Amino acid sequence: MKSLLAKLGIILVGLFIFIHAEVRAEDWTFYGRSDKYLCFYDVKSINHSDENIVEVSEKQEYTNEGKDFMVERLGKKYENLSHLITLWQINCPDKKYRFLSLTYYAKEKTVIYSWKALYLSGTTDWSPFIAGSLGERLYKAVCK
């Protein structure tokens, strides 16, 4: 009887993990990769702040090569780097973007570094997308 209960417990835990993973997969949609990270955008976060501007959250999950690159460039505090969450603002008709915020997270889900933009009303701090870039892929995904 104890053996049966133990097996049932293992099955329930496995089912919980599977269901949790499925919910997570629905939030983040894969759109590209580089040798340093995998890129996802959060479909649920897409917000049309006006008819031309889209805001969307993006997640970059770092590979080992990407972590090594960040440690080399920015120091040892990035040794446990897991991912980056960036809030993009995209001007769809003009095919330009700017970042509103970004946060680097460690594997323990602690914040390594966080930054928020302070754009003044009416400023034009926009950058064009580079043809063939991952940013352009994100643009194509959210500016349909």
What confidence tens digit (pLDDT) does each residue in 83-134 have? 999 999 999 999 999 999 999 999 988 999 999 988 766 666 899 999 999 9
Delimit the domains of the chain by residue range.
Answer: 29-142
Q: What are 69-86's pLDDT values in tens digits?
A: 999 999 999 999 999 999
Say yes or no to pLDDT of 22 above 70: no
pLDDT above 70 covers a percentage of the chain that reads 78
The residues, any chain, with a CB within 8 Å of residue 142's CB and separated by 6 or more, are 41, 46, 54, 56, 90, 92
The pLDDT of residue 16: 37
Comparing CA positions, the residue from 94, 92, 106 lying closest to residue 138 is 92
CA angle, 27 as apex, 22 and 32 as ends, to 5°? 100
**Which CATH entry fits the domain spanning 29-142: 3.40.50, 1.10.10, 1.20.120, 2.40.128?**
2.40.128
